[in-house]
Amino acid sequence: MTSSPCRLCGQPVSRSFVDLGLSPLANSFVRAEDLHKKEAFYPLHVYVCDRCLLVQLDEFESPEHIFSDYAYFSSFADAWLKHCREYADRMVPRLGLTAASQVVEIASNDGYLLQYFKPHGVPILGVEPAENVAKVAIEKGVPTEVAFFGADTARALRARGVAADLIAANNVLAHVPRLRDFAEGFRILLKPEGTVTIEVPHLLRLVAENQFDTIYHEHFSYFSLLVLEQLFTDVGMRIVDVEELWTHGGSLRVFVRHAAQADTPTPAVADVLGRERQAGLDRVETYDRFAAQVVRTKCDVLAFFVEAARAGKRVVGYGAPAKGNTLLNYCGIGPELMAFTVDRSPHKQGRFLPGTRIPVRSPADLLAARPDFVFILPWNLRDEIVEQMTAIRAWGGRFVVPIPTLGVF
């Protein structure tokens, strides 16, 4: 039983989806000078609402605490930046955006997405709650409002004359504690003819492909299109189109407009909804089966590390994503089994993974260590990483991915 009501419909929530035990905040990387201090661990137990079927975590900590000094900077993965540039290049002609339009991005991070609208001459504004991250964006020439988004922020912006032709909310909905208030914010800030695009990891893929490590405390909710439809209908908006993306192991890009102005939804909307029903996401019994497959993966991961250690093989990690921290903490893997991991982000190098205290170094250190196995934590970027690290083949090094099932290649 959770202590808080359902984030979407308000009903008490008591049905377990999966229990990943105790875990620290997945993005709270530990500094060397803090290694002797304690860390806070919180239950990582996911529930599903019997009534609206929103998959969600219990509320455990205020968003202000989680996001005030966020170590995640978006601008360090090539494939990710390409995805962002393509989005901007497509939205400008599709929505007819001009110098008289306004693009607003919610949770705009360091300006990694909005920067691609600048060459098109379209006015941009970011809304970002983490002050240190917003500062980086402003220094890069991306105007940024330091705030949590919701109805109040939308009203404040509206009062200053800001009204959006396009609101981009990519990979933020999962972090939102009050979903309805957030959707209200869209309704208030969006011009009558405007469009909101939202990107969320797709629950259908999480369930079908065993992506349990994408569960972490900063992700309060996990969305099907069925659930998103309920959310937007509730505030007088309508989903008019949906695209399926490769990002984060499989995401949805959902196009939303004011219901009064909306066109007939494209066939893609009915197609995704149909596949979700076929997979049983409209029936609560489906959600009861997920936990067992997660335990099977834990056994496979432990078996790999135990076998490698007993054979005297050296395993080094690649990447320090939030999902890696869920996986390593849930499976109980520490530096005794994986000596260190590497990451291209200088903000993570020199720190230690939360909970497991595995050191984070630079990719050059990986090559110098000549490991037998490179354990890829951001498995969604696996092709890019294998290409970057192909030099390990010279000494017979191999790659390992844990998800959807453990594979060595």
Interface positions with Zn ion (CB under 5 A): 6, 8-9, 49, 51-52, 54
The residue among 125 and 284 lying less far from Zn ion, judged by its C-beta, is 284
Residue closer to Zn ion (CB basis): 112 or 290:
290
Smallest separation (angstroms) from Zn ion to the CB of 277: 18
Quick check: 286 and 208 in contact, CB under 8 A? Answer: no
Contact call for residues 357 and 300 (beta carbons, < 8 A):
no
Q: Are 276 and 297 in contact (CB under 8 A)?
A: no
Instruction: Write out the H or E segment, with its range, that includes residue 40.
Output: none
Q: How far is the CB of 52 from Zn ion (least distance, A)?
A: 3
Strand partners, 36: none
End-to-end CA distance of the chain: 42
Q: Shortest approach of Zn ion to residue 14 CB, angstroms? A: 11
Q: Which is nearer to Zn ion, 15 or 83 (CB)?
A: 15
Minimal distance in Å, beta carbon 11 to Zn ion? 5
For residue 190, the 8-state DSSP code is E
Rg (CA), the chain: 21
Distance (Å, whole) CA 103 – CA 297: 42
**Are 231 and 169 within 8 A, CB to CB?**
no
Phi first, then psi: give them for residue 241, nearest 5 degrees.
-160, 160
Task: Provide, rounded to whole angstroms, the least separation between the CB of residue 8 and Zn ion.
Answer: 5
Quick one: 13 or 385, whose CB is closer to Zn ion? 13
Q: How far is the CB of 2 from Zn ion (least distance, A)?
A: 11
Q: At what angle do helices 322-331 and 290-310 cross, to 10 degrees?
A: 80
Contact criterion met (CB below 8 Å) for 129 and 144 = no
**Least Å distance between CB 273 and Zn ion?**
18
Q: Tokens for 79, please give them.
A: 């494939």
Residue type, 20: L
Short-list 121, 219, 101, CA closest to 168: 101
Which residue's CB is nearer to Zn ion, number 48 or number 342?
48
Rank residues 50 and 365 by Cβ distance to Zn ion and give the closer one: 50
Residue 127 vs 183, nearer CB to Zn ion: 183
Nearest residue (CB) to Zn ion, 52 versus 188: 52
* Contacts with 236 (C-beta within 8 Å, 6 or more apart), sequence order: 187, 258, 259, 260
- CA atoms within a 13 Å half-sphere pointing along the CA-CB vector of 57: 27
**Residue 207: strand pairing partners:** none
Q: How far is the CB of 169 from Zn ion (least distance, A)?
A: 21
Q: Which is nearer to Zn ion, 10 or 280 (CB)?
A: 10
Question: What is the distance between the alpha carbons of residues 186 and 201, in angstroms, rounded to a whole number?
Answer: 20
